Structure 1
Amino acid sequence: MAKAKSSSPKKSRPKKSGPKKSESSAPDANLLGDLMKWAKAAGADAADALYVNGESISVAQRMGAREKLESSEGRDLGLRVFVGQRQAFVSSTDFAPASLRILAQRAVDMARAVPEDPVCGIAPEELLATKWPDLDLYEKKRPTTKSLLALAAEAEDAARSVRGVTNSEGAEASWGRTSFVLAASNGFSGAYRRSGYSLSCAVLAGEGTAMERDYEWSSAIHFDDLMAAARIGRNAGKFAVRRLNPRKAQSARVPVVYDRRVSSGLIGHLAGAINGRAVARGTSFLKDKMGAKVFADGIRILDNPLRKRGLGSRPFDAEGLSTRRYAVIDDGVLTTWLLDLAAARQLGLKPTGHAARGTSGPPSPTTSNFYLENGEATVDELISDIKSGLFITDMIGFGVNGVTGDYSRGASGFWIEKGKLAWPVSGITVAGNLKGMFLNMTPANDLQFKGSTNAPTVRIEGMTVAGS
């Protein structure tokens, strides 16, 4: 495997206003096809190319004053070539035909010089996507800088108006859109566009050494799906104030409840453990659990790349394969790995259409819209029988061993007494092993889609809490 990069400077500069611009557009329809021909003429047996073109605006306000205003535009093209069982990658922002001819020749020369990779190779034609649905991933409207600044101001003003809030880390609003075009010498050609908004706010409550920080955020493909700015601000303020005057918890083995703000991290650990590359390398704690019960009865975890307006949605994967909805965990049983072509070949399985890639490297498996389905209980019902336990609202550190499943992370939140949230706690550590944690997990019914990986509030029995 080899890679190189050739570039001309991308445009990236602060702007004082947001003039309307033309939409991001794909290159000439024949350009990627020509690039495939030039790669073949240079000696490649096969090739594929990914084109990415994007623009973004980001603004921020802190303590009532504008703090940041940035705008960027850029485009990039990545070429992958195969010579026998060897591959190489090159990328460039110079789109002149003469430059791309040189790029193709350079890629082939690099591929001839690297060791063979027995699992590399382009997709066979019978696996290629030939049609795909409209997933509503693009909003044509381009916001003005002024409108984004107004969103950030509304969010921060709402947060600072909450009684007890004494300082602010600011509010930030951003927008972007990106075009993707993938073409390959096996005949695949596909393109789609994606837009997105995000808004966040973080503030502090209290005074001196007794200050506490918290936040709220929202992301969406379409502006209409974004959480209201005032609500984001109020939530950030309320979350910070309720954390004031925390106590230390006594070390104990108790039920632990993960608020939906942090429970997605647990599902993210599962995603890493069922990544086909990790399984093929033998570095996953679930490497021998295919077809086995790894969660409690009734638990379903889905990966759905075809969810309309989903933050992780994609109509085809980065190797041109069709995407589809998978019940990765069905009634507690592990049903599949996440596989790109290389991982599938290593494991002797069929690819699952989970390949993702940038312009300067190979594809690798990843999730799309990955989420734990709702349970039946409300959050109040989930904690109602806990005599003593922990409700986590924030976590720090990444003490997770992907090979063994051992888990230890810093946390803060609220102590549970007699089925109610009693007082805030901080400076504690929660520990266990993900194998046992998954088997003892119970979800609530408050699933909310805020990112590409989501989960409702969950309860896990018998975790170790280390406090004072």
Structure 2
Amino acid sequence: MTGEGESADRAAVLQGLAEALVSAARKAGAEQADALAMRGQSVSIDVRGGALEHADRAEGVEIGLRVLIGGRQACVSASDHSAASIAEMAARAVAMAREAPVDDALGLAEPDQLAQVRDATALQIGDDRPDPAPDALQDLALRAEAAALAAKGISQVEAANASFSRRHLWLAASNGFSGGYGRTTHAISAVAITGEGLGMERDYAAESRVWAADLPEPEDIGRLAAERTLARAGSRKPPTGAFPILYDRRVSASLIGHLLSAVNGSAIARGASWLRKAMGEPVLPVGMDLAEDPRRPRYPSSRPFDAEGLATRPRRIVADGVLQGWTLDLATGRKLGLGSTASAARGLASPPSPTNSNVILTPGAAGFDELLAGMGTGLVVTSMLGASINGTTGDYSRGAAGFWVENGRIAYPVNECTIAGNLRDMLLSLRAGNDALPWRAAEVPSLLVEGMTVAGA
């Protein structure tokens, strides 16, 4: 159980550790330093055959330090947070930084750039109810499993899981920044199987939320896993040729993810992006926006400030189909002569790098069935595996499975095929559905792409 007083006590401990790391780094000779202190706890329960299969519980505090000296940087981390360990970390990081290559773009934010709001209360990203007990999580997993097994044709449930995690972090830096917040995640999943031997097929359903109250019922998740699995019975390879591809909303965010990777400042600064010369040019169809909002209440990627202490804010990456800007942290912004978009993220032992938070693609007017009817003959993709993506040219090839469509209707399930195209052409031909699901870090509807290559039978 976690109350407000206990949360405040934990935050104070993390604050003390982060600020102690920065102080130790300055004493050891660092010109600038920032530090993360993180406390995490998690419980995960797996059931099978109506009984507990596996239980896992983890809890701990970890710390990370980054030091900067004359355009050089080094990062170190540890799970030991004693005073002696902090002093040793600082000395080691300073010694490592002095041997690192020079990058004149490195450096902390100026004090006047820093976020003024340094907690996440308004974002509601930490469930304020008591943490769920292990037996309550086991009950959720058992209910999901039972619902899947109740479907005629399901031979077994490979796994049903319920989990919970709570994480607190604190960021402190030598420029005066000091702030932190907590985050929770509740999740339920099920994997169902139908058939036997070479005819076996499986599929899954999974949902996660910041707040337990926002989760679907476990029975809904189990039934959906079974429904998806049964629909895959009798899968075969599709024909080979050029066909339209309908990316189901389960996988459509991966397509937008390739666009986001291509406009990431790290790739742009290296000149290793197929969109490196596309600023101000169409990259999506007219009328389509791609936005991000790191401040959506109760959403999984929301955060009040980034990993460099800058205030996050909503922005449009693409507006009316036209690329508006790159995704930048301080270093990549300086290399490109631009300001940060407050997009920095970092790990305990890694420096900041740009990332996206809570992405939203403009939905279309058509429902999934309308997109299906309009595609004639082609492929609906519901799962993907493997990838061969050329980051410089945008050439795209991925393994896929899903359903073959004839005369605008699903004809049979398919597996073991490859789909290929060029991302620039694919994205410009998109037609979006209106079926995006809420509560996702990437809110993207089903997407129809014209003229891709399918390699099957």
Are 1:405 and 2:405 counterparts?
no
Does 1:135 find its partner at 2:119?
A: no
1:62 to 26, 39, 48: 48
Of 68, 88, 99, the match for 1:113:
99
Choose 442-451 or 322-331, whichever is displaced more. 442-451
The answer to whether structure 1 residue 36 and structure 2 residue 22 are counterparts is: yes
Match of 1:14 in 2: none
Q: CA deviation at 1:29?
A: 4.5
**Is contact 1:267–1:454 with CA below 8 Å preserved after alignment?**
no
Q: State the AA in 2 paired with 1:179.
A: H
Rounded Cα–Cα distance in structure 1 between residues aligned with 2:107 and 2:201: 52
Whole-Å separation in 2 of the counterparts to 1:238 and 1:115: 55
Give yes or no for the alignment of 1:228 onto 2:214.
Answer: no
Counterpart residue type for residue 393 of structure 2 = T
Counterpart secondary structure, 2:35: strand
Match of 2:384 among 395, 402, 411: 395
Letter in 1 for 2:124: D
Partner of 2:290 in structure 1?
301
Change (3 A) 1:54 1:98: same
Task: Give structure 2 stretches of 5+ with no counterpart.
Answer: none
CA distance in 1, matches of 2:330, 2:2: 41
Moved over 4 A (4+): 19-24, 28-31
Quote the Cα distance in structure 1 between the aligned partners of 2:376 and 2:95: 68
Pick closer, same or farther for the CA change 1:28–1:232 going to 2, 3 Å.
closer
> 2:210 aligned with 1:213, yes or no?
no
**1:284 aligned partner, one-letter code:** S
How far apart are the structure 1 equivalents of 2:289 and 2:385?
A: 27
Opposite residue 145 of structure 1, the aligned amino acid is: P
- Per-residue deviation at 1:413? 1.3
| Counterpart position of 1:50 | 36
Asked if the contact 2:35–2:66 (Cα under 8 Å) also holds between the matched residues in 1, the reply is: yes
**CA distance, structure 2, for counterparts of residue 428 and residue 190 of structure 1:** 49
Contact 1:168–1:204 (CA under 8 A) maintained in structure 2: yes
Asked if the contact 2:164/2:184 (under 8 Å) is kept, the reply is: yes
Amino acid at match of 2:194: A
2:317 is the counterpart of 1:331: no
- Using the TM superposition, give the Cα deviation of residue 31 of structure 1 relative to its aligned residue in structure 2, in angstroms: 4.2
1:28 and 1:294 mapped to 2: Cα distance?
43
Give the partner amino acid of 2:89: L
Instruction: Give the residue type in structure 2 aligned to 1:106.
Output: R
SS of equivalent to 1:348: coil
Asked whether the 8 Å contact 2:296–2:302 carries over to 1, the reply is yes
How many positions carry a matched residue from both structures? 450
Cα pair 2:402 2:415 within 8 Å, conserved: yes
Equivalent-residue separation in structure 2 for 1:37 and 1:392 (angstroms): 53
Shift of 1:81: 1.4
> Larger deviation: 319-328 or 28-37?
28-37
Shift of residue 302, structure 1, vs aligned partner: 1.3
| Distance (Å, rounded) in 2 between the aligned partners of 1:30 and 1:148 | 33
CA distance in 1, matches of 2:363, 2:44: 34
The offset of 1:131, in angstroms, is 1.9
Q: Which amino acid aligns with 2:75?
A: F
Change (3 A) 1:34 1:389: closer
- Tell me: CA distance 1:343–1:209, structure 2 relative to 1, closer, same or farther (3 Å): same
Distance in 2 separating the partners of 1:277 and 1:325: 20
CA contact (8 A) 2:14 2:170 kept: no
Instruction: Report SS of the residue matched to 1:451.
Output: coil
* 2:340 equivalent among 327, 330, 351: 351
Q: Deviations over 1:125-156 (max 9, x none)?
A: 12111126620000132000000001111111
Q: State the 1:327 CA deviation.
A: 1.1
Choose 449-458 or 250-259, whichever is displaced more.
449-458
Residues 1:313 and 2:313 are matched in the alignment: no
Between the aligned partners of 1:447 and 1:175, the Cα distance in structure 2 is 25
User: What SS does the corresponding residue of 1:113 show, helix, strand or coil?
Assistant: coil
Would you say the 8 A contact 1:373–1:447 is kept in 2?
A: no
2:14 and 2:39 in contact (8 A); partners too = no
Q: Which has the higher helix share?
A: 2
SS of 2:341's partner is coil
The residue aligned with 1:13 is none
SS of 1:216's equivalent?
strand
Q: Distance in 2 between matches of 1:259 and 1:284?
A: 26
Q: Percent same amino acid at aligned positions? A: 45
Task: Please name the residue that 1:180 is paired with.
Answer: 169
Partner secondary structure for residue 298 of structure 2: coil
Taking a change above 3 Å as real, the CA distance of residues 441 and 304 of structure 1, as seen in their structure-2 partners, is same
> 2: distance between equivalents of 1:341 and 1:347?
10
Structure 1 CA distance, aligned partners of 2:19 and 2:373? 62
Amino acid at match of 2:109: A
> Structure 1 residues 392-401 or 48-57, which shifts more?
392-401
Distance 1:34 1:467, change over 3 A: closer
Which deviates further from its counterpart, 225-234 or 419-428?
419-428
Amino acid at match of 1:159: A
1:94 pairs with 69, 80, 94, which one? Answer: 80
Q: Does 1:438 align with 2:427?
A: yes
The 1:406–1:214 alpha-carbon spacing in structure 2 relative to 1, beyond 3 Å, is: same
Task: Give the whole-Å Cα distance in 2 for the aligned partners of 1:147 and 1:29.
Answer: 32
Q: Distance in 2 between matches of 1:215 and 1:442?
A: 26
**C-alpha displacement of 1:46:** 1.3
* Corresponding residue number in structure 1 for 2:234: 245
1:363 and 2:337 matched:
no
The one-letter amino acid of 2:386's match is G
Is the aligned partner of 1:282 residue 2:275? no
Give the Cα separation in 1 of the matches to 2:348 and 2:171: 10
2:311 to 314, 322, 325: 322
**Residues 211 and 188 of structure 1, relative CA distance in 2, 3 Å threshold:** same
Indicate whether 1:196 and 2:196 are aligned.
Answer: no
* Unaligned residue ranges in structure 1 (runs of 5+): 1-18
CA offsets per residue over residues 289-334 of structure 1, 9 Å max, x none?
Answer: 1111011111111111111111111110000011111111111111
Bigger Cα displacement from structure 2, 56-65 vs 246-255: 246-255
Structure 1, residues 330-371: CA drift from partner, whole Å, max 9, x if none? 111111111011111111111100100111110111111123
TM-score (norm 1): 0.93
- Are the structure 2 counterparts of residues 31 and 20 from structure 1 closer, same or farther at C-alpha, using a change threshold of 3 Å? closer
Q: Distance in 2 between matches of 1:361 and 1:216?
A: 33
**Cα–Cα, structure 1 residues 349 and 396, in superposed 2: closer, same or farther, change >3 Å?**
same
Q: Equivalent residue for 1:421?
A: 410
* Contact persistence 1:206–1:241 (CA under 8 A): no
Q: Which residue of 2 aligns with 1:161?
A: 150
Q: Say if 1:215 and 1:29 are closer, same or farther in 2 by CA, change over 3 A.
A: closer
CA distance in 2 between partners of 1:97 and 1:248 (Å) = 61
Indicate conservation of the 8 Å contact 2:14/2:37, yes or no.
no
AA of the residue aligned to 2:10: S
The answer as to whether partners of 1:263 and 1:454 remain within 8 angstroms in 2 is no
Offset, 1:20:
7.8
